[in-house]
Amino acid sequence: MKLDSKIPSGPVQQKWDKHRFETKLVNPANKRKYEILVVGTGLAGSSAAAALAELGYHVKVFCIQDSPRRAHSIAAQGGINAAKNYPNDGDSIYRLFYDTVKGGDFRAREANVYRLAQVANNIIDQCVAQGVPFAREYGGTLANRSFGGAQVSRTFYARGQTGQQLLLGAYSSLMRQVGKGSVKMFPRREMLELVVVDGAARGIVCRNLVTGDVESYSGHAVLLCTGGYGQVFYLSTNAIASNCSAAWRAHKHGALFANPCYTQIHPTCIPVSGDYQSKLTLMSESLRNDGRVWVPKKKGDSRSPDTIPEEERDYFLERKYPSFGNLVPRDVASRNAKQMIDEGRGVGDTGLSVYLDFGDAIKRLGESVVREKYGNLFDMYHHITDENPYKVPMRIYPAVHYTMGGLWVDYNLMTTIPGLFCLGEANFSDHGANRLGASALMQGLADGYFIIPYTLGGYLASSKLPKIDLGHAQFKAMETAVAKRAQELLSIKGKRTPGDFHRALGHIMWDKVGMARNKKGLEEALREIPKLREEFWKDVNVTGAGRELNQTLERAGRVADFLELGELMARDALHREESCGGHLREEHQTPDGEAKRDDANFAYVAAWEHKGDDAAHALHKEPLAFEEVHLTQRSYA
């Protein structure tokens, strides 16, 4: 298989314009003849569905929750980047592009990232026009703040609920189309199979989560907007239902999976308190704008934080990275916290946390300003931990938050299966090995509002897609496969719950495929995961029946797929004999403990091909060329 990224020729600034001009258009009268299936209603899915329906396409939209508004984009707190340069502090499209490529540790495509930076400003305008209540200055202009590793203030925000407000904006546009009849909404549906006819994606098979019925839907193209796979770690900041199943089914049908080992560990999460815990709660890293991260200088110092004098505190990020201080990128902040904890200087009952202290900010700005900026985050922390962060420093610990890897897509966001597109976190495209803060929302909406409306048209206009109906043999085959798999899970009647297996997988992933990886651990993971998977298929207990609302069955199906994906992640991490961004191989570090890339051998996208359930994955490499941003060792010192 030859990977063709379809990156347009010419200078990076002109590629997207040139491509839009060269991409075929669908005649307005013909658009209504096309049926598009959109799976997932986060920022990418909702925005794509709304934008396509506005153009005249017929769109069917599927989500696992009871309403499209619940998708996990809603939980993003901090903000969304754009290069508006409203603060006049030196920002530009080129700088946003440059920062994102560098922040991704030179493992993203320049052309994609440049396009992302180009359309970012349009996103802000679109969202404002929808009535998204962005924060405003007293003169009424849009407010900006600096965020996660940026030296310019380019982040737009809506209190600590930016993801919620952007999603509700996209959702409102989507519901407007539902009201007009151009979108048909199918909530509480889980996509469990992709239907490929004559080599092209032509439909999906879903389970109706209320009735348990297996349902088929056909279309001229399928858009997977199904989010990331962080739940493979069991504990993550993702939602309970977030899963990899739709993407993994597509992978098994021939869509390559790219860079699965690139996962992001977010530095500012509320620490784990016990084994009953079902998820970790992220607090926006915007907190690092005003909060100062520290641990006691002395090991095992169990004094309460207010009694530890200033000179006995180690503000380790400010000490090690004087120009970026507490605003270093996520991977750097997370790794340093882990290092402090490994040195025995962690704080709290478990010793598994570091302080994030707002004492100085409250003194400098006053409690009311701090409350206005971060009030809901402070409340959330207080609710969960029973500690008041206005009085006692917060405690934070890193947690899995975002997955940069995902289905491989070309410049048109199309996977290696013609007609199957992948948008948002579910694809691999724009963040390289590390995503900068406030750029996930940007990518989801860029893909949905401003990229897919063009590139999908190009595909449809240049493809022959004969009409197919739901009676087609391939639909029948996939329906049977879905029903059979459910029946298999229900008939095992073992002793352990799907949750038991999920937790066990999570432990392996966190310990051996987590924040820092090494050859020995990864090889162990590669032995342990298949063994666990084997046990799962012998000993899982799924109660109830197939034709009813059955949350145990839903969970079991997702865990089964995680048990396969986890293995591929370990394999990818083992093969990548370098450190880059969120992927730290302990064998490959600079003397001061930073990720050490090997550009000569690993400046490529690793795209894995499924060769059958009993065969090893095949690796395909897409080389990455850096014509604009020169490869340098990332340094934030």
Partner 1 sequence: MTEKAKRNYTLKVWRQKDAHDAGRMAEYRAEGISPDASFLEMLDIVNEQLVRKGEDPIAFDSDCREGICGMCSCVIDGRAHGPGAATATCQLHMRAFEDGATIVVEPFRARAFPPVKDLVVDRSAFDRIIASGGFVSVNVGSAPDGNTHLVPHPVAEKAMDAAACIGCGACVAACPNASAMLFVAAKISQLSLLPQGQPERAARALNMLKRMEDEDFGNCSNHGECEAVCPKEIKLSNIARTNREFIRASVCSDE
Q: Segment 440-469, which members bind partner 1 (CB under 8 A)?
A: 449-450, 453
Choice from 543, 590, 633, 635 touching partner 1 (CB under 8 A): 543
Contacts of residue 373, defined as CB under 8 A and 6 or more positions apart, other chains included, come to 286, 290
User: Strand 263-269 to strand 394-403: parallel, antiparallel, or no bridges (unpaired)?
Assistant: antiparallel
Please state the closest distance from residue 457 (CB atom) to partner 1, in A.
14
Q: Which stretch binds partner 1 (CB under 8 A): 11-19, 61-69, 482-490, 628-636?
A: 61-69
Closer residue to partner 1 in complex, CB, 445/595: 445
Q: Does 552 bind partner 1 (CB under 8 A)?
A: yes
Per the DSSP assignment, residues forming a β-bridge with 35 are 58
Q: Which stretch binds partner 1 (CB under 8 A): 125-133, 289-297, 585-593, 621-629?
A: 125-133
Whose tokens are 């439909």? That residue is 203
Q: Segment 85-124, which members bind partner 1 (CB under 8 A)?
A: 86, 122, 124
| Cβ-contact 80, 124 below 8 angstroms | yes
Closer residue to partner 1 in complex, CB, 372/587: 372
Please give the structure tokens belonging to residue 479.
């329906």
d(CA 91, CA 108): 21
Please give the structure tokens belonging to residue 513.
């495929």
Q: Does 549 bind partner 1 (CB under 8 A)?
A: yes
Choice from 191, 206, 241, 347 touching partner 1 (CB under 8 A): 241
Please state the closest distance from residue 208 (CB atom) to partner 1, in A.
12
Q: Segment 465-504, which members bind partner 1 (CB under 8 A)?
A: 493, 495, 497-500
Closer residue to partner 1 in complex, CB, 138/310: 138
CA distances from 38 to 329, 374, 429 (A): 33, 35, 19
Please state the closest distance from residue 551 (CB atom) to partner 1, in A.
6
Q: Is 5 exposed, middle or buried (0-12, 13-18, 19+ CB in 10 A)?
A: middle
Q: Which stretch binds partner 1 (CB under 8 A): 66-74, 194-202, 388-396, 526-534?
A: 66-74
DSSP alpha helix (H) spans, 23-67: 28-31, 43-55
Give the chain's end-to-end CA distance (angstroms, integer). Answer: 42
d(CA 130, CA 30): 28
Closer residue to partner 1 in complex, CB, 37/80: 80
Query: Which residue type, as a one-letter code, is found at position 393?
Result: P
Q: Is 336 exposed, middle or buried (0-12, 13-18, 19+ CB in 10 A)?
A: buried
Q: Segment 576-595, which members bind partner 1 (CB under 8 A)?
A: none
Q: Does 3 bind partner 1 (CB under 8 A)?
A: no
Q: Segment 134-193, which members bind partner 1 (CB under 8 A)?
A: 134-142, 156, 158-159, 161, 164-165, 168, 171-173, 175-176, 178-179, 185, 187
- DSSP structure string for 199-228: TEEEEEEEEETTT--EEEEE-SEEEE----
Q: Segment 29-58, which members bind partner 1 (CB under 8 A)?
A: 47, 50-51, 54
Closer residue to partner 1 in complex, CB, 256/504: 504
Check residue 286 and report its DSSP letter.
Answer: T
Closer residue to partner 1 in complex, CB, 159/252: 159
Please give the structure tokens belonging to residue 297.
């200088």
Closer residue to partner 1 in complex, CB, 370/513: 370
Closer residue to partner 1 in complex, CB, 173/334: 173
Choice from 197, 365, 384, 470 touching partner 1 (CB under 8 A): 384
- The closest alpha carbon to 431, from 398, 455, 402, 399, belongs to 402
Query: Which residue type, as a one-letter code, is found at position 444?
Result: G
| Cβ-contact 576, 585 below 8 angstroms | yes
Closer residue to partner 1 in complex, CB, 178/525: 178
Please state the closest distance from residue 141 (CB atom) to partner 1, in A.
5
Please state the closest distance from residue 484 (CB atom) to partner 1, in A.
22
Closer residue to partner 1 in complex, CB, 169/329: 169
| Cβ-contact 355, 295 below 8 angstroms | yes
DSSP alpha helix (H) spans, 227-326: 245-252, 287-290, 316-320
Contacts of residue 534, defined as CB under 8 A and 6 or more positions apart, other chains included, come to none
Say how many residues touch partner 1, by CB under 8 A.
87
Please state the closest distance from residue 486 (CB atom) to partner 1, in A.
16
Q: Which stretch binds partner 1 (CB under 8 A): 336-344, 484-492, 549-557, 613-621?
A: 549-557
d(CA 529, CA 637): 38
Report, as residue numbers or ranges, the catalytic residues: 330
d(CA 479, CA 498): 23
Q: Does 25 bind partner 1 (CB under 8 A)?
A: no
Please state the closest distance from residue 531 (CB atom) to partner 1, in A.
22
Please state the closest distance from residue 287 (CB atom) to partner 1, in A.
15
SS3 441: helix
Q: Is 591 exposed, middle or buried (0-12, 13-18, 19+ CB in 10 A)?
A: exposed
Choice from 23, 151, 350, 589 touching partner 1 (CB under 8 A): 350
Q: Segment 256-295, which members bind partner 1 (CB under 8 A)?
A: 273-274, 276-279, 281-282
Please state the closest distance from residue 429 (CB atom) to partner 1, in A.
20
Q: Segment 203-222, which members bind partner 1 (CB under 8 A)?
A: 210
Please give the structure tokens belonging to residue 164.
């919620």
d(CA 65, CA 76): 17
Q: Does 546 bind partner 1 (CB under 8 A)?
A: no
Closer residue to partner 1 in complex, CB, 396/569: 396
Please state the closest distance from residue 44 (CB atom) to partner 1, in A.
13
Q: Does 339 bind partner 1 (CB under 8 A)?
A: no
Contacts of residue 215, defined as CB under 8 A and 6 or more positions apart, other chains included, come to 189, 205, 206, 207, 208
d(CA 270, CA 292): 16
Q: How many residues does the chain have?
A: 637
Please state the closest distance from residue 344 (CB atom) to partner 1, in A.
15
Please state the closest distance from residue 207 (CB atom) to partner 1, in A.
15
598 half-sphere exposure, CB direction, 13 A CA radius? 13
Q: Does 70 bind partner 1 (CB under 8 A)?
A: yes
Closer residue to partner 1 in complex, CB, 174/603: 174
d(CA 160, CA 138): 19
